[in-house]
Structure 1
């Protein structure tokens, strides 16, 4: 049996319980065809980059699957029929990742450390800027303009 990672997107107007029911339905299809489902992650409702079938958001779900190709084909056939599934993608992998997926790993800004280049220091005020490269030094404020002739 081969190892797969399977992600599918469900419509935004179904509830989280209905998404869990879809996951259980497809898990049953895999197990009925001689496969096993390992890790299941529900990534929740997320915004889509572009509209898919008139939906701006979708429920994302990930499944790690160890099953024969026939089981995957049957699950994908049922997903094509279902109106609740917007998109799906199944990828064959060498081995399943340990721990949570990249989508579930939360990175805190404080844990990342300093950015490359370090601290740039305090901001300078407008008058503190150095001269430009072309030799144009700070000239100071502009003189008052002469009155316009058409408004006199």
Structure 2
């Protein structure tokens, strides 16, 4: 298993319950795919460095996890089809 981290930005129009539901959804994808979540850090609502699709702020969340190399591909697919995700990135965190 390899160590990864993902950070994603949710649209600011989502309410707190929808943000929590999306975070739980992504955690479920990791855990159901055989991954182990090490840390979940919810940064909250912050201003973006630049405007994306006329949006200048969003809800940031960082998740550190360990998983097999196939899991990030599935997580990326889920990020892409989920409404409300403004941006996301998954990085291999091994040195």
Q: Give the TM-score, by structure 2 length.
A: 0.92
Structure 2: how far apart are the matches of 1:5 and 1:59? 17
Q: Which residue of 1 aligns with 2:73?
A: 73
Structure 2: how far apart are the matches of 1:92 and 1:79? 17
Tell which structure's C-alpha radius of gyration is larger.
Answer: 1
Q: Which residue of 1 aligns with 2:42?
A: 42
Answer 1 or 2: higher relative contact order, Cα 8 Å, separation at least 6.
2
Structure 1: how far apart are the matches of 2:50 and 2:73? 27
Q: Is 1:55 equivalent to 2:55 in the alignment?
A: yes
Q: Which residue of 2 aligns with 1:102?
A: none
Structure 1: where are the runs of 5+ without partners? 96-152
Number of positions where the alignment pairs a residue of Structure 1 with one of Structure 2: 95
Q: Which residue of 2 aligns with 1:13?
A: 13
Structure 1: how far apart are the matches of 2:82 and 2:68? 22
Structure 1: how far apart are the matches of 2:18 and 2:92? 27
Structure with greater proportional strand content: 2
Structure 2: where are the runs of 5+ without partners? none
Structure 2: how far apart are the matches of 1:40 and 1:76? 17
Structure 1: how far apart are the matches of 2:27 and 2:40? 10
Structure 1: how far apart are the matches of 2:32 and 2:48? 32
The runs of at least 4 aligned residues of structure 1 exceeding 2 Å deviation read none
What is the deviation of 1:10?
0.5
Alignment RMSD (CA, Å): 1.3
Aligned residue for 1:75, secondary structure, equals: helix
Q: Deviations over 1:31-74 (max 9, x none)?
A: 11111112101101001121112211110000011011221111
Q: Which residue of 2 aligns with 1:24?
A: 24
